[in-house]
Amino acid sequence: MLDLTGKTALVTGGGSGIGKSISTLFAAQGARVAVVDLQEGAAQETAAAITAAGGKAAAFGCDISEAAQVAATFDAAEAALGGINILVNNAGIAHVGTLESTSEADFDRICRVNIKGAFLCSQAAITRMVPRGGGVILNMASIAALIGIPERFAYSISKGAILTMTYSIAIDYMKKGIRCNCICPARIHTPFVDGFVARSYPGREPEMLQKLHEYQPIGRMGKPEEVATLALYLCSDEAAFVTGAAYPLDGGVLVT
């Protein structure tokens, strides 16, 4: 069950947090993993840990908002690990702000990374997957694509685009053997969250982390490993009947 042996997965943002957990779990389940990250050193650390555990991985530094870098990275990943069967569009950035407090530069940056990056990577994957008879694309959206979250104007727009991008890819490529789904997490406790809280609320870290935990009715933030487990299912052959779906992973947020 949930065996990825013989498959190559490319995971963006694989150097830390959710992407690192996905990369590690996929490798443990037999996949060859291309770990892609803007910070090449972080990607190398993840790939080294996978290799040390007996898995197969290679690291690649890439700015996913640059088409030439994306194409070169996909070519290098396939040369090193074989044809890509699975793409996980996990890389993304956050922003706090309302319509009025979001600058044009902030808005452009969010769209460039979160939307354009997923578009370029999906396009690169599709052009390689279709001639081989299919593959899987998994996008990382957010509950911000499904409900209103205060002061997440640009971020919510970007994740709404990821949601509809998922639907569009699923319907356009269903007959060509491509499945496309997305995960919509609530708050997930990653090193990024700890760093954001430390920078934004110095001296108040425990208080603010507790608030982040309490946002989920279940009483805590999610764990990267929990996202990775759902990602594994959606990218496995056991999910062969699942496409065009958005899976909340939200600790009860949407039912309250």
pLDDT in tens, 103-118: 999 999 999 999 999 9
Residue 200 has a pLDDT of 85
Catalytic machinery residues:
155
Over residues 92-100, mean pLDDT: 95
Query: What does residue 140 show for φ and ψ, rounded to 5 degrees?
Result: -100, 105
Q: Which conformational region is residue 143 in: left (phi greater than 0), alpha (psi within -120 to 50 degrees), or beta?
A: alpha
Residue 116 has a pLDDT of 98
The model carries a pTM of: 0.97
When computed from its CA atoms, the radius of gyration of the chain, rounded to whole angstroms, is 17
Domains of the chain in start order, with CATH, are: 8-186+224-248 (3.40.50.720), 188-221 (no CATH)
Burial 133-143 (b: 16+ CB within 10 A, else e): eebbbbbbbbb
Q: How many residues does the chain have?
A: 256
The predicted-structure confidence for 210-250, as pLDDT tens digits, reads as follows: 999 999 999 999 999 999 999 999 999 999 999 999 999 99
Residue 196 has a pLDDT of 86
Work out the pLDDT band at 153, boundaries 50, 70, 90: very high
The predicted-structure confidence for 1-13, as pLDDT tens digits, reads as follows: 999 999 999 999 9
Over residues 120-127, mean pLDDT: 98
Over residues 173-186, mean pLDDT: 98
How far apart are alpha carbons 193 and 109 in whole angstroms?
19
